[in-house]
Structure 1
Amino acid sequence: MKMLTRRRFAILAGAVLSPAVALAADTALPVPASLKEASRLAGARKEPLVLLVSLPGCPYCELVRRNYLLPMRAEGLHAWQIDVTDRRHTVFDFQGRASSGAVLAAQFAATFTPTVLFFSAQGTELADRLVGVASADFYGGYLDDAISRARAALGAR
């Protein structure tokens, strides 16, 4: 009887811990070398530039990346990420000035992660940003709505 109980415990522990272990390693969206160039390419396709402000090790950032933005990027969405702690890598801003992920996140007042921003080619926010993950069950709908609003704003320009 004890063996059966231990076995059930091991199976249950494995089932519970597997998703946590799977989420422990961050996946990544590419970091743009230039927001100006990335947004120009998106604008040429009548699409917004979608920018994830992320933090290494943030499980909610990983959820947004893995479940939503990476699959959407594979379908053609112009999705990128910057890291709020990254001061080492150069990212050129919308005006072509050298910056970093940390400085850009501060300029965008994106101090909470994950934050998803939607930009025009000129660097104007097109839709309300998504800050945090209030409900994983509804996040996909919130993201789809924000992308639709950003696309509509581009069409109105």
Structure 2
Amino acid sequence: MSDLRRRDWFLRAGVLLGATSAWAQSGAAATLPAAQSLPDELSQALKNKHPLIVMVSLDGCGFCHRARQSHLSPMQRAGTPIVQVDMRNPQPVLDFAGKLTTHDQLTRLWKVSITPTLLFFGPGGKEVAERMEGAYQPDFYGPYLEDRIAQGRKAL
């Protein structure tokens, strides 16, 4: 292999690896922690005088990915208490009463049929703000989200 072809191969491999790395990082940036113990997660949120935000998501939902990537993941990394519950997922979770259930059973209990849906919980696992259901215009998602958070804080 000539030096020119070898250099071209390494250059292309480096670009491919860089693109793969950037893609992986952008996917990682669009994740939220899965709900595991709603009583503990709610308690931590309330200590910070904030409602617990639960995003109900569905695997493969493009609108869910966009909401996580543009708003929810950055907010969660900045300290806003947000967890994710996955529709149709048998992952175990403790509900607000401390009973073992699954993510899917929670979505049915909460009567969620559209993803993404954001729920805002306060003391006793009661909803303290209007739900955000489905996709919103990207330019308005942030203001609607901030409004719901303000409603939830006021209700605390």
Q: CA deviation at 1:121?
A: 3.3
| RMSD between superposed Cα atoms in Å | 1.9
**Hey, what does 1:139 align to over in structure 2?**
141
2: CA distance, partners of 1:49 / 1:129: 12
- SS of match in other structure, 2:85: strand
**Hey, what does 1:56 align to over in structure 2?**
59
Say whether residues 1:122 and 2:124 are aligned partners: yes
Say whether residues 1:83 and 2:86 are aligned partners: yes
The code of the aligned residue for 1:132 comes to G
**Hey, what does 1:95 align to over in structure 2?**
97
Segments of 4+ moved more than 3 angstroms: 24-27
Say whether residues 1:68 and 2:62 are aligned partners: no
**Hey, what does 1:31 align to over in structure 2?**
34
From the CA coordinates, give the structure whose radius of gyration is larger: 2
Contact 1:117–1:128 at 8 Å: present in 2 too?
Answer: yes
Query: What is the percentage of aligned positions where both structures have the same residue?
Result: 37
**Hey, what does 2:9 align to over in structure 1?**
none
Size of the aligned set, in residue pairs, is 133
Give the alignment's TM-score, normalised by structure 2: 0.80
The code of the aligned residue for 1:49 comes to L
2: CA distance, partners of 1:121 / 1:70: 24
What residue ranges of structure 2 are gaps of 5+ in the alignment? Answer: 1-22
Contact 1:49–1:120 at 8 Å: present in 2 too?
Answer: yes
